[in-house]
Structure 1
Amino acid sequence: MAVDGGATKTVALLFDEKNFKIKGIGLAGSSNFTIIGVSKAEENLRKAIKEAEGDKADKAVFCLAGIGDSAEDTKRGEEMVRRIFPNAQVYNDGVGAYRATNLFEDGGVFAPGTGSVAFYQKNGELHRVGGWSWIFGDEGSASWIAKTAITYATRVVDGIEEKSELPHAVEEYFKLPFREAVIKLSKEQDKRFIASFAVIVDELAQKGDPLALRVMKEASEYITKMINRLKKEGGRVSVIGGVMNSRIIRYEISSLGVSIFYSYQAVIGGLILAGVKMRFEERDILAKELTQMVYNLPEEELKNYLFINIKSKYSET
């Protein structure tokens, strides 16, 4: 069993290594225990694992956000996992993303999801770049896109920025008058909830809203800079995460020669860390099979956990 858990969603995968086949998949909310607490994170982990029938597994790898952030966080996360699966291996979710995209070859991966972090491997050794938290970092991520868009919306209300639909979109999405919405979000600091607004920002940008488009372009610029930073270390570079659902961002980085993966595909990295041997061609087959299985899940689950625009999910290859 492989489990990938971040700030937005948890994906559990039961895999038949002998026949090289996915046997079950489970999806649940965040398992980032540093944000939502250990109790809720463990609940979501168990939910995803139950849906995947992961209790049938004889070995497991958990790749979780928060692992490696500090010694205390790592201890808390490992203790939580041991209660679920005593002999499991535990890694940071960025490590899982790296293995899913680059297997064991040297190269780099940037993962802009709810937050953002990058890893590169050089001479067989992994190095972390970014991941400085959403107050000081997480640039290019969904939380950064949403937070920046809301900041720009306050400028529109104050009359110091050009006209934009962002203030109205904030009111409509968060179902509060603009000032009350901003104050409530500031007090509660629900990273996942705020990040979910990034989908709306992207939709407005696609319709030509100038400020929303500026935000998406700025996110693309940072992602481009990070890709170029990783390229300096050599090897293939990939990008994986929910932000890659944006057509604008995919277009902006299309000339950089990187492979693009979606957030749920990171769970494949857990299989590789568990010892499942595969070539890139076999990884690609698994990624396609996983995509088909994910889109067969109830639409409400996709909306809640993957921030996917359901109307356009089949509109592109």
Structure 2
Amino acid sequence: MPHASGEPCLLAMDGGGSKTLLVLINRDAVVRDVRRAGGTNPFDRPDWRMEMAGLLADLPGGIVAAGFGMAGYGGSPTVSACQDDLLVEWGRCPYIVCNDVDIACAGAFGGGAGILLLAGTGSMVWATDQTGQALRVGGWGHLFGDEGSAFWIGREALGTLTRGLDGREPEATSFVTPFCRFMGFPDDPGAIEGALLDWYGGLSHARSAVAALSRGVDELAAAGNRSAQRIVEGAAAHLARHVDAARRRLRQPDLPWCDAGGAFRNASLRRAVVDLCGVPVAPLLPPVGGAALLAARRAGWDPDAAWIARLRKGLTDAGLFVPALS
């Protein structure tokens, strides 16, 4: 729905590694405009500035405040400074900028206390206690960490595959054929090495491609393949350590947690993490809703429980949120 120029509204952006969403929301929490673009993580998206520029071009008047969730923000001072510079140059209105997982946590708990466990291509925890103290656990990237993420699962699967092919891991033999079939490789053992190297050489975005392999691991784990189950169990243990570390550091052993990210679409992983961490709570809002909540505060509005409920409905009506079934 096009936004009426001059009508007071908020800008909310959820800028992730694979996709970016920008919405305009009016005072009644109705979504007036939706824009989408590719990933805007400066660490592995060289065109992130161009994607951002396209989203922020030709916006209507009346934007009173903005909330930006940006992948990678708050980590590297150099990268964060580049993100800040872009927004200063934009400078349309008062705004707040934070990490994209921060806005996801704000959305999930309506600005209240809780632990947001993100397991997508990467992995990290963002947690906030009742006093507003916040902390991050993980989020170091695939070179140093991202344990338990979809990328980690895919990389472990490739390692299991190659060790099984070499005979270094005899128990992985039963993993080789079904996983190769998932990847579209031939059954002939002599042709697998060439197919694997061709696959690797043809990757345009290796991290996303490796993360996509987690779906095959989930399918094999559900079918009872023991090697796949061990990978899933290892991922769940890593993710549970993220939650445990946040609870210890905040001295809140019962702090509720909420899951987010595409890796949790793998049912075997989600069940394993629930077994270790307890049942998660359902999110109140999606990440872009968290950005809208922060923007509303920046604008001096009163985003109380009633406003959050209207925002939840507005985002749902716009097809941007699917509330969990009670």
TM, length-normalised to structure 2: 0.76
Report the Cα offset of residue 11 of structure 1: 1.5
Task: Answer whether contact 1:26 1:47 (CA < 8 A) is retained.
Answer: no
2:264 to 244, 261, 266: 244
Whether 1:20 and 2:52 are equivalent positions in the alignment is no
Q: Does 1:134 align with 2:142?
A: yes
Q: Give the alignment partner of residue 229 of structure 1, picking from 245, 250, 254.
A: 245
Preserved contact between residue 114 and residue 143 of structure 1 (Cα < 8 Å): yes
Query: 2:162, 2:92 → 1: CA distance?
Result: 49
* 1:127–1:169 CA distance, 2 compared to 1 (3 A): same
For residues 281 and 3 of structure 1, the distance between their equivalents in structure 2, rounded to whole angstroms, comes to: 22
**Distance in 2 separating the partners of 1:285 and 1:203:** 38
SS of 1:59's equivalent in the other structure is: strand
| 1:32 pairs with 2:44 | no
SS state at 2:147 partner: coil
Aligned length: 289
Distance across 1 between alignment mates of 2:288 and 2:72: 16
**Counterpart in the other structure of 2:273:** 253
Matches within 5 A, 1:253-272: 253-254=273-274, 256-261=278-283, 265-272=286-293
**CA 1:252–1:145 in 2, change beyond 3 Å: closer, same or farther?**
same
Distance 1:258 1:284 in 2: 20
Q: Is 1:167 aligned to residue 180 of structure 2?
A: yes
Deviations 1:99-124 (A, max 9, x none): 11223333322211221121222432
Instruction: Name the amino acid aligned to 1:23.
Output: R
Q: Deviations over 1:179-214 (max 9, x none)?
A: 3324665xx763233223323333343344433333
Residue in 1 that maps onto 2:49: 42
- Matched with 1:300 is none
Over 3 Å counting, the alpha-carbon distance change for 1:104 and 1:286 in structure 2 is closer
Matches within 5 A, 1:79-118: 79-87=85-93, 88-118=95-125
Compute the displacement of 1:2 (Å): 0.8
Extract unaligned runs of 5+ from structure 2.
Answer: 1-10, 186-193
Amino acid at match of 1:215: I
What's the CA shift for 1:134?
0.6
SS in 2 for 1:177: helix
Give SS of 1:60's match: strand
**Structure 1 CA distance for aligned equivalents of residues 311 and 157 of structure 2:** 36
Task: Give how far 1:59 is off.
Answer: 2.3
Question: Would you tell me which structure has more helix in proportion to its own residues?
Answer: 1
Partners of 2:72 and 2:12 lie apart in 1 by 17
Deviation at 1:72, TM superposition (A): 0.7
Q: How far did residue 69 of structure 1 move?
A: 1.1
SS for the counterpart of 1:118 is strand
* Distance of 1:193 and 1:76 partners within structure 2: 27
- Residue 58 of structure 1 corresponds to 64
The one-letter amino acid of 2:183's match is V
Residue 216 (structure 1) shift: 2.3
Deviating more after overlay: 54-63 vs 279-288: 279-288
Q: How many Å separate the matches in 1 of 2:215 and 2:54? A: 25
Letter in 2 for 1:224: A
Q: What code does the residue aligned with 2:37 have?
A: A
Structure 1 residues 64-73 or 264-273, which shifts more?
264-273
Cα contact 1:224–1:253 (8 A) shared by 2? yes
Q: In terms of Rg, which structure is larger?
A: 2
Q: 1:241–1:261: 8 Å Cα contact kept in structure 2?
A: no
Structure 1 range deviating more: 271-280 or 215-224 = 271-280
Query: Are residues 1:5 and 2:15 paired?
Result: yes
SS at match of 2:173: coil
Report the Cα distance in structure 1 between the residues aligned to 2:283 and 2:215, rounded to whole angstroms.
Answer: 18
Query: Separation in 1 of the partners of 2:309 and 2:268?
Result: 24
CA contact (8 A) 2:23 2:34 kept: yes
Would the aligned equivalents of 1:102 and 1:236 in 2 still touch at CA under 8 Å?
Answer: no
Q: Which residue of 80, 96, 99 corresponds with 1:74?
A: 80
* 1:228-251 Cα deviation digits (max 9, x unpaired): 333333233222222222222232
Q: 2:70, 2:100 within 8 Å by CA — same for their partners in 1? A: yes
Distance 1:212 1:290, change over 3 A: farther
User: Counterpart of 2:132 in structure 1: which amino acid?
Assistant: G
Deviates more, 1:236-245 or 1:41-50: 41-50
Q: Secondary structure at the match of 1:91?
A: strand
